[in-house]
Amino acid sequence: MKAKVDKSGYLWLERVGKLKPVWCPYTYRGPADDMLECGEWCPLFRVDSPHQDVQEGIYCIEIELCRARYVIDRDDFIDERGEK
């Protein structure tokens, strides 16, 4: 799985071969135009520094959200926010 955090701090995850935005399940008020994108604005959003994951056996990035935890290979993660 690939993932990126764009310049605005929003999370994108690979779905069916394309990176797509992740929508916040707690901001649903109607159509997607009314929802907020998942991103660094949320206190439940966290992207760890790259580290070795012994269980997964890869050098990885962990992304934690309100309802999920993703372990992404470092080579499959793009952070467009610059130095953090």
pLDDT tens track for 24-55: 888 876 665 678 889 999 999 999 887 777 66
Alpha-carbon span 81 to 57, nearest angstrom:
27
Place of tokens 């993932």: 3
Q: What are phi and psi of 37, to 5 degrees?
A: -80, 145
pLDDT of 15 > 90? The answer is: yes
Q: What is the token pair recorded at 63?
A: 């992304």
* Mean of pLDDT over the chain: 86
Handedness of CA 69, 73, 79, 83 (dihedral sign): positive
At 60, the pLDDT band (50, 70, 90 cuts) reads confident
Q: What are phi and psi of 72, to 5 degrees?
A: -115, 130
